[in-house]
């Protein structure tokens, strides 16, 4: 009986560790993003731009380029400290806004391409609510910025306003 319990525990532990195969390092995240992307169609390149933990939650996001497309992957961290990719989305425009649920609340994540460095800041107003904030854009060609959304805010649409260096 004891052997069966130990064998069962070993199978469960192995199963759990297999669900979270990604070491929490940039190199391993990039390696698994390549595998993830090549499931649907072979790509010549995947370049990891930035990885960010959303607050103190078990959710991390990876902003990366797959071929010529900018993409965002949402990853979950397991008890073993390793990660698994939950989903990924292609950026629809030069700037994109994602609403991400985490174990510690909701986050708005703005990703963007600022290759010509014409953007200085973005003002984000959640439609129909008295909540908004302004984000200064880094001088990098690609950027990702996350902001925790107050608990009382349900999913809504975000109205983004862009400001150049001149205004």
pTM of the predicted model as reported, rounded to 2 decimal places: 0.80
pLDDT of residue 4: 45
**Which tens digit of pLDDT belongs to each residue from 71-83?**
999 999 998 999 9
**Which tens digit of pLDDT belongs to each residue from 95-120?**
788 889 999 998 988 888 876 566 66
Q: Does the pLDDT at position 8 exceed 50?
A: no
Pick the closest to residue 145 from 72, 78, 75 (CA basis).
72
């Amino acid at each position: 009986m004891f052997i069966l319990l130990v064998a069962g525990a070993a199978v469960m532990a192995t199963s759990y560790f297999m669900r979270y195969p990604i070491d929490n390092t940039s190199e391993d995240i990039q390696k698994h993003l390549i595998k993830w992307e090549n499931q649907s169609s072979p790509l010549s390149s995947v370049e990891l731009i930035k990885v960010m933990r959303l607050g103190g939650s078990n959710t991390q996001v990876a902003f990366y380029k797959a071929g010529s497309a900018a993409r965002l992957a949402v990853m979950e961290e397991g008890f073993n400290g390793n990660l698994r990719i939950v989903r990924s989305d292609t950026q629809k425009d030069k700037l994109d806004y994602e609403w991400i649920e985490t174990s510690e609340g909701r986050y708005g994540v703005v990703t963007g391409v600022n290759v010509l460095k014409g953007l200085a800041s973005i003002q984000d107003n959640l439609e129909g609510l008295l909540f908004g904030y302004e984000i200064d854009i880094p001088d990098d060609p690609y950027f990702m910025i996350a902001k925790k959304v107050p608990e009382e805010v349900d999913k809504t649409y975000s109205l983004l306003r862009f400001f150049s260096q001149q205004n």
